[in-house]
Structure 1
Amino acid sequence: MNALIDDVRSEALFASDLQRSQEPTAEVIRRAVWAMVDRFGETGCAELVAQEYGEHPDCAIGRMNWARDAVRLAFAA
């Protein structure tokens, strides 16, 4: 179940306006994830990710790798 939750969180962070260059704290990452899920829902975040992969696949891969790593750190138990 954690893998599914991590996927949703990663998609939400990916879809957010938060940037790696901002060097966000764990708290900022968690707030961004919750805000995106509240605003777009799980499906909406996934749709935004799919759209970005379709339009900018070269950039999307790096952003998703960052989002996954950031989510793992921000939501570590």
Structure 2
Amino acid sequence: MISTVKELAAEALFVSCLQPSEDPSRAAVEEAITSMILRHGSDGCAAGVATEFGDHPDSAVRRMRWVQAALAECLTLRTPVMH
């Protein structure tokens, strides 16, 4: 289930208007993910990703790399430190 949630978050962030050049905060990333899921649903987010990979594969790959890095940073910031 966790991987499915991560995948949905990645798809939602991918179809959002956020750009890597904006260096968005964790809050902005989370807001964009929530907004896109509410607006497009899981199927709509997945369809948007598929369309971009079909129409613009080179830029889609670069964007997905940024998405994965942004999500990893968000998850790292949320992981509690255990002593």
Q: Same fold (TM over 0.5)?
A: yes
Structure 2 gap ranges (5+): none
Aligned twin of 2:16: 16
Measured after TM superposition, the shift of residue 69 of structure 1 is 1.5
Residues 28-62 of structure 1 show CA distances to partners (whole Å, capped at 9, x for unaligned) of: 00000000000000110000000000110010001
Question: TM-score, normalising length from structure 1?
Answer: 0.94
Deviation >2 Å, runs of 4+ = none
Contact 1:16 1:33 in 2 (8 A): yes
RMSD of aligned residue pairs (Cα, Å): 0.9
Which has the larger Rg? 2
Residues 50-77 of structure 1 show CA distances to partners (whole Å, capped at 9, x for unaligned) of: 0000110010001011111211222443
Distance (Å, rounded) in 1 between the aligned partners of 2:18 and 2:10: 12
Aligned twin of 2:39: 39
Determine whether 1:27 maps to 2:32. Answer: no
Counting aligned pairs with the same residue, the percent is 38
Structure 1 gap ranges (5+): none
Aligned twin of 1:61: 61
Structure scoring higher RCO (CA < 8 A, sep ≥ 6) equals: 1
Distance (Å, rounded) in 1 between the aligned partners of 2:18 and 2:66: 11
Q: How many residues align?
A: 77
